[in-house]
Structure 1
Amino acid sequence: MSQVNNTAILFFSRNLKEEFLAKNVGLNIQQFSNLFNLLVKKTQRTIGQTQIPVKTLFSDEQIGSSFGERLTNGISNLFSEGFENVIVVGNDAPELSSEDLLWVKNKLENGKNVLGRDSHGGAYLIGVSKKDFCTTAFLNIDWNTKLVFNQLKLLLSSEELENRLIDLNEKSDFQNILKQGLHLSKTFKQILKAIFSNYTSHTNFNFTLPKSIWFQLTELRGPPSLVS
């Protein structure tokens, strides 16, 4: 493989339904659909600006019964395709920039693994080389906990991106990023505010029903337009 293409990005995300079931942050289904598509398109646009090869894996394309298995398999498959380095990102850190990704690519191609620490003790970015990737060790990480970043840092002896970004898991995270997100465009913030403008602590849903039923009851609208 040529030097130009020895690094790939893995965009690893739940699909809309699974993301809603995991963290709807009090939005109804239509609002959450707009939010999900906004975040996905923002990440895809950021990745596209780098011209780094990318593999996108949503839930229904991932292989494994747990998050750790699905992520480990996704990384392993890119290594099996011939890439020497993989940069993993999700859809919940919209402040991530193309410059960040290019910096990580450069570090990886100079022998350094890289992590981005998020606001909850996890990692919004994982940059790992094939020579330092151990499937067993990755499977043993306590994924989706506050231990993730420290465990990965110990495992990979990695450098750290300077920016500690807000990852969007709770309504308070969205409130914080609207106040503190200095690197987000005005238009992006306006769309985000509009999505939450009709938020109330009580939705129109019957909370005695499973969220999987809520998802079936409402027809989803199309995604909002997105600019950088």
Structure 2
Amino acid sequence: MYNLREIKKIAVLLFVRNAYEELKHKALIKGESSKNVLLFKYLNKRIVNTVKDTDYNYFIIDSSQQHGRTFAERFKNAFKSIFQAGYDAVISLGNDTPQVNSKTLHDVVDHFEHNDVVVGKTNLGGAYTIGLTKYAFSKCSFEAVDWRTSHVVESIEERAIFQGSSFVQLDEVYTELSTHNDLNLFLQQLLTKHIRLEDDTFFLSLISKPNHFDNYPQLQMDIILHGVTEIRGSPSFI
């Protein structure tokens, strides 16, 4: 098993689709293709800026650079390309969990001191981050993980233990954005202060009644009683 003294080079893998590819697979804002593209561009830009706030090298591997017939093959090949560049550990991040921040990366690195596999879990059972040491990657069977299900994290843990890699899950469970309902839930959590972001301006701009923003008590009551039923795109984002 690796320890932190042996892990001298750590890189971050941003495994994402570009905004137009993302549009083919999900619609967070109903019936609004252009607004979805703006949202996906924002999410991609946000995760890149998050990594830029740290000292870690990062690699953006988007749809045009991913190779393989299945998601498992493409994901594995992305990790492999970075390990082949001489890194001792790789931390993957997606773009669909806006609560991920620079602390997330530091937490994963801290856990590498005693663990080969570090995972952060979403509310849907997916993984918002997966950190692997070179040792863990050499033994990992990506094809055996139940990707695209609500059992991703449990599946990774089972495989890690089976293959002799030490495993730990981060304490924080973050909200994943995969559907319109997910975005509705996220906005409700944001507005009722169940979750907090360093910058929530863009997401607040998605609510159809921005005049309510100065009256949080009333807005919170509206959310509790009625939910966020209308979402609009942000015309100011480029």
1:99 maps to which residue? 103
Residue 200 of structure 1: CA displacement?
8.2
Measured at CA, do residues 176 and 222 of structure 1 come closer, stay the same or move farther in structure 2, by a change above 3 Å?
closer
Q: CA deviation at 1:104?
A: 0.6
Structure 2 equivalent of residue 152 of structure 1:
156
- Identity over aligned residues, as a percent? 28
For the pair 1:224 / 2:228, whether they are aligned, the reply is no
Change (3 A) 1:178 1:163: same
The two structures have a TM-score, normalised by structure 1, of 0.80
Write the deviation string for residues 28-50 of structure 1: whole angstroms up to 9, x where unpaired: 12101110111111111111111
Structure 2: gaps of 5 or more residues: 161-165, 210-227
Map of 1:22 onto structure 2 = 25
Contact 1:20 1:29 in 2 (8 A): yes
User: Equivalent of 1:183, from 196, 203, 207?
Assistant: 196
Q: Please identify runs of 4+ aligned residues in structure 1 that moved more than 6 A.
A: 198-201
1:3 Cα shift? 7.1
Whole-angstrom CA distance in 2 between matches of 1:14 and 1:71: 12
- Which letter maps to 1:191? F
The structure-2 alpha-carbon separation of the partners of 1:54 and 1:109, relative to structure 1 and needing over 3 Å to count, comes to: farther
Q: How much does 1:111 deviate?
A: 4.0
> Is residue 2:14 matched to residue 1:11?
yes
Greater CA drift, 148-157 or 128-137: 128-137
CA distance 1:164–1:152, shift in 2 (3 Å) = same
Give the residue type in structure 2 aligned to 1:92.
D
Q: How many residues align?
A: 203
Q: Normalising by structure 2, report the TM-score.
A: 0.76
Quote the Cα distance in structure 1 between the aligned partners of 2:12 and 2:75: 13
SS of residue paired to 1:56: strand
Alignment gaps of 5+ in structure 1:
202-220
Distance change (3 Å), C-alpha of 1:74 and 1:80: same
